[in-house]
Amino acid sequence: MEKLTLQYITREPNTISDKTSLLILLHGYGSNEEDLFSFATELPEDLIIISARAPQNLGFGSYSWYTINFTADTGKFSDIPEAIEARELIAKFIGEIQEKYKISPEKTFLLGFSQGTILSYAVALNYPEKVQKVIALSGYINPELLPTNLETKDYSKLDFFISHGSVDQVIPVEWANKAPQFLNSLKVKNCYQEYPVGHGVAPKNFFDFKQWIEVRF
How many Å from the N-terminal Cα to the C-terminal Cα in the chain?
27
Residue 2 within a domain: no
Residue 51 within a domain: yes
Taken in order 50, 55, 57, 62, is the CA torsion positive or negative? Answer: negative
Instruction: Work out whether strand 189-195 and strand 56-59 pair parallel, antiparallel, or are unpaired.
Output: unpaired
Domain with residue 166: its CATH number is 3.40.50.1820
Helix H or strand E segment including 185: helix 179-185
Residue 207 within a domain: yes
DSSP letter, residue 167: T
**CA 44 to the chain's CA centroid:** 18
Residue 1 within a domain: no
Residue 3 within a domain: no
Per-residue pLDDT for the chain (217 aa), expressed as one digit of tens each? 467 999 999 999 999 988 899 999 999 999 999 999 999 999 998 999 999 999 999 999 999 999 987 665 554 467 999 999 999 999 999 999 999 999 999 999 999 999 999 999 999 999 999 999 999 999 999 999 999 999 899 999 999 999 999 999 999 999 999 999 999 999 999 999 999 999 999 999 999 999 999 999 8
Total structural domains within the chain: 1
Residue 59 within a domain: yes
Instruction: Find all residues with CB under 8 Å of 143, minimum gap 6, and list them.
Output: none
Structural domain range at position 200:
8-216
d(CA 6, CA 73): 30
DSSP letter, residue 66: S
